[in-house]
Amino acid sequence: MPSPFKTRVAQALADSDLRTSQARASSRLQRWRNASFDELETPWPDLQAAAAASRRAALDDLPRLLQQLEARLVQRGVEVVWAEDGAAAFRYIAALATARGLDTALRSRSPLAEEIGLNPALAEAGIQVTNTNFGDYILQLAEDRSSHPHFPALHQSAADVANLFERKLDMPKTLDPQAMGSMARFRLRRELPRHGMMIGQVALAAADNGMLVLVSDAGEDRIAASLARIQVLLMGIDQVAATVDEALFLAQMASRSAAGQDMPGAVTMLSGPARAGDPDGPGELHLVIVDNGRSALLATPFRDALACIGCGACHNVCPVTREIGGQAYGDGYTGPIGAVLAPLIARAPTKSRRPTRDTVPPVTAAGIPLLDPTAADLPLASTLCGACADVCPVGIDLPEMLRSLREARLAAGRPGLVDNTVRAAFRWATSNPANYHRAHGWLQRRLTGSIAPPLRAWRDGRDLPTPADKLFRDRWAERNRP
């Protein structure tokens, strides 16, 4: 029985509409990204090296930077809360809403909220959350999940959204993205004032002056943040920069890498609740700093993955993600960085993450438990071509991490029948020239012809070149024959 991941991959590969819209969107984003960096005077390698150095220095100095940040924020009246895991974060937010007599909240784009399963957890506690990010709003209407860290509804085509809006918003059908966007904005903005709590995510916090930098593509998040009396911001323990200049530089790198924008659509900088005499700002500001497995990762070879600034550029260039889309990866983490983080970060159990009989059991990679064994197959979704590392604005060596996670999976002793068969066959074929000859003949016949079912599944999932008619050795011998 295939693993849940392989089943999702097979479904994605069978969906030609999804593959077409995914490929189009990824190519467009990649073009915009390239053009945006090409126009700068500073060469890309220098920018990448500067961003990488900033993130690594912050990870090296994390305890001090976090303490400095906390001290600055507490001074200005921010309630700073440390959450060991998603459950602790959720309990705090639910208790806060209940204490303030609120049963609704708004939520802006927050991969961290997705990681800890915040919306469903709050719904179970009787608190209904409305997503304000346009992509998240579409997904909420469609009861769907995100496929990209920056553009959560990337997998939805214009036709999908038109049908959805006709069904759920009673909107006359149109494929005009502007008209659809205006209608959604109109509905959403009408709702914003009735919510007392806004939940958002810090893109990066600056330790030097305690500034919390929030970014969004459109103004909804910003309007909601200005209207809501209580603002709750989530941040991972890794999302801190030493200075505000570094935080803004990294936010620029992320927006250029995501969609070629020189700055995000909207940048909000918050340093505390509104003071007496301030014209606007939240009445209460709560910062929930979430660990959820990150501090354990810091002491491992995978620590660099925490340098990620969530731009999604690795998704847009990955030849595998471009084919299968982000949703095939499961809930929350997607793309090459998702394939690294998903097995290593503890997440809320959901139906699709419940271990099955065929789930690879928890294993250890360099002493790290794979916290989410249902995601242990995700590192297989890569050609290890290195394109993700080339475009990553903070230079994370994703291919090397994916390779290590594959090793960990093999060490768990559950590579699967097909993997074992293919490896054994390769060993046999390369053990001596006679076997190599036989294997060549067999491959020539079988790569296009009939083949037993387990190997057929392996073959059909790959683009394998047809072997040459003759081995190089034979052609060489013929050529040099007197």
Task: Give the pair of three-digit tokens for residue 223.
Answer: 């309007």
Among the candidate windows 85-93, 226-234, 391-399, 416-424, which touches ligand SF4 by CB under 6 A?
A: 391-399
Among 58, 232, 311, 344, binds ligand SF4 (CB under 6 A): 311
Q: Which helix (DSSP H) or strand (DSSP E) does residue 205 occupy? A: strand 204-206
Q: Which helix (DSSP H) or strand (DSSP E) does residue 220 occupy? A: helix 220-227
The three-state secondary structure class of 202 is: coil
Q: Which is nearer to ligand SF4, 72 or 406 (CB)?
A: 406
250 binds ligand SF4 (CB under 6 A): no
Q: Which is nearer to ligand SF4, 309 or 378 (CB)?
A: 309
Q: Which is nearer to ligand SF4, 212 or 339 (CB)?
A: 339
How many residues are there in the chain?
482
d(CA 44, CA 38): 8
Amino acid letter at 302?
F
Distances (CA, A) of 120 to 75, 78, 137, 196: 33, 26, 15, 19
Residues 394-423 close enough to bind ligand SF4 by CB under 6 A = 394, 396
- The CA-based diameter of the chain, rounded to the nearest angstrom, is 98
Smallest separation (angstroms) from ligand SF4 to the CB of 221: 20
Among 259, 313, 318, 365, binds ligand SF4 (CB under 6 A): 313
Q: Which is nearer to ligand SF4, 246 or 284 (CB)?
A: 246
Task: Give the pair of three-digit tokens for residue 460.
Answer: 């059909």
Residues 279-308 close enough to bind ligand SF4 by CB under 6 A = 308
Residues 120-149 close enough to bind ligand SF4 by CB under 6 A = 149
154 binds ligand SF4 (CB under 6 A): no
86 binds ligand SF4 (CB under 6 A): no
314 binds ligand SF4 (CB under 6 A): yes
Q: Which is nearer to ligand SF4, 210 or 335 (CB)?
A: 335
Q: Is 322 exposed, middle or buried, given 0-12, 13-18 or 19+ CB atoms closer than 10 A?
A: buried
d(CA 215, CA 269): 9
Among the candidate windows 116-124, 221-229, 364-372, 392-400, which touches ligand SF4 by CB under 6 A?
A: 392-400
User: What would you report as the CA-atom Rg of the chain, rounded to the nearest whole angstrom?
Assistant: 25
User: 134-142 and 177-191 are packed helices; what angle lies between their axes, rounded to 10 degrees?
Assistant: 90
Residues 349-378 close enough to bind ligand SF4 by CB under 6 A = none
d(CA 147, CA 329): 8
Give ∠ CA 369-372-375 in degrees, rounded to 5.
115
Smallest separation (angstroms) from ligand SF4 to the CB of 71: 28
Q: Which is nearer to ligand SF4, 155 or 414 (CB)?
A: 155
Among the candidate windows 264-272, 287-295, 388-396, 444-452, which touches ligand SF4 by CB under 6 A?
A: 388-396
**Interface with ligand SF4: number of residues (CB under 6 A):** 15
Contact between 96 and 106 under an 8 Å Cβ cutoff? The reply is: no
338 binds ligand SF4 (CB under 6 A): no
**Partners of 433 in beta bridges:** none
Among 210, 393, 399, 416, binds ligand SF4 (CB under 6 A): 393
Between strands 211-216 and 204-206, the pairing is antiparallel
- Residues 204-243, mask of contacts with ligand SF4 (x by CB under 6 A): ----------------------------------------
d(CA 6, CA 280): 50
Using CB under 6 A, list all residues that contact ligand SF4.
149, 257, 308-314, 337, 391-394, 396
